[in-house]
Structure 1
């Protein structure tokens, strides 16, 4: 599912754009990563081309355009626009997407939608989240250097006239999303509807807030683990994450807008208001409302009202599966509790229904013979215990894999701090300043020593191993679940048959 993201830049240093595309950068600070000689480290793989730059570099072409048309002279002027097309990670394996093919698609997209602008088109094989998604950066200078043919999607002179600045409006983004969808469809790649939004919308700022918050939380948990204290929280949540969760929990139960707003206030202290047909929410401790459109389409007024109406119309019904059976009730023991004759009639009717379900189940499974039934129960018990043992073993291996990945990540991120401690002029002050990082480093080193690990495995290899273990666990867990469900039904059926005949014997003797 290809996605499109836009970033407007006011940076007048155009060379920084090309440097970001070519060299490795820290994903949080944005600073270039240096090698042992202090030189910038090139990215492991990339493809880069320029368009509409003539014999000049991209930076020079943009500066010449600024000088020629007397624009982009103020600090607040938008100097360049960046559009990022991220392809589905599955496209590489399923649809034959390569970096070369992605670069060709990016060049075609740039030529058709940004004619006349100096541009850089650069393809990277993976994102900072290491999901394996090939993506293309398209960076254009904000000024168009030549007049171009007017196309149907162009609405204003700035869209085709020379010397005008590009503007990424809502209408422009809608057109570009359609172009991305058609681009993927023509290339036979995975694609989703980019025009109808998402149930939960996460902005660029919130995404990085999550990443930074999770990194900080991991360091704090490492410090707690070093002192033998259990972590209070393992997954970091932004204010919007918490707000989405709280709204969803109330929205699932409320049946009217008044009920919805009352429950939000009573249970979570969240105020909700409506303005110009849009909902906004104010969590406890904040002074500024958060608009529903910043949370996702699921929280828009129309979606909320539709969910409330559905809740109001929904009537709980007791539904049973055809092969689900209940248990017989001992009528004699219940009657000693002083129940009336009407209750006895209800019990008798209930037991007849249960026996009808029991007989039907045994007939459908061809288990009416007692020996065959016992043999099937024994087989299911063996399958149940074997599958459960495998699931427990896989869970243990997954837990060990997860712990190892956690310590490798902590060790890798704090190794540089530990090395700086050796050369620090004031080791005690340095130790106090970087206590959390050093603690995480030492805990990881102790873990490696305790497990006799002299060479650390690749994180990607561990992730692949974890995915394989999870897949195997899902398969055996399904076997365990199926065996457990059928075993419970057959044991209940066997117990019902025995109980039924025990009750029938005294009745026949009385007759």
Structure 2
């Protein structure tokens, strides 16, 4: 499984800045490890002089910004190491993947170079990038969770390239990372039988007209077909030694030859025969790369988006489509509930503000209206104080409408109530932004998967696109 290691490099004890950086870069570019220097790629720097170039950028940063860190606290550069499973990639492919990772991690704002080492059984690369940006105005700051962010990006790129990786290596209940054996015990690679069952369901959802069309779809998906004596059928896929016979005793209920024939003839619903394991089904569908659902999806989306969807499913333990639907519904409900709550709070705040203004206007104009009453509603008095009397009547009408027969609260009570509402709104907005992000993420994931698996009709697809 592809693993990552992230480390900021400081000055080594007893060495100068130049010596510390040169020692690290010399180790990375060792000709014996990089096939004489052939397995080295760089961006905006020369690997042979990268130490001097990185130091020069730091001097420019100090001149431009006027900022300088203490010598023992300054980060000279950052290093990322990616290690891959033997046999999945060669040293050159590992180098290309490492370069892709470095470009996406730095967003092209930092100089870096990547080296691929051949001194170990497992392919691995070292990435060194400058802590100072190319324009020498900013520095990369190691942040809380940076190592996890490195791992997630590496995992995403591995998914895009069809490579294995460790999903969820850190259990929630413990602080220590699990080793490969512990992780594999709960995250085993799908068996050949599981892959076969997933591909059978995929081909049946395409509604083949007859058995020959179904078998041709299986061949297109990468499965070898063997007709057995007595009319049986067996399948074998890449990396599998023995054929797996199409029968319920081997694959389970609903996967016998008669069951498949019944599904083709419309006498059985293939998607109801088992719970859909999204991870297996999606990977099988992408690998097959065939069918109208895939072609429609491929016109709109790309492999990076699907890798992001797969990563989301694995990180959230969503192996069943029904669970994905339920979580999407819950996320939408939570978002709309918080949205309605904020709207109610804002309405209460507007009412509170309007009532306070009315109370103030009432208090200011009440003496004038009392004088108007004492003058027995004299027209002359009204003409002299018309604006104040109109303000009094408007304030009184507003209070009667908002209080609605209840006792008018005191001004201090209204102010306290407004402060409480404002605090509730602020808290709700934090939850609202989080809920909105969660909803958008899972709705996007579900939309991508629906398109890929062909689980939406044309009209629904158009609505999702909008």
After TM superposition, the score normalised by the length of structure 2 is 0.32
After TM superposition, the score normalised by the length of structure 1 is 0.30
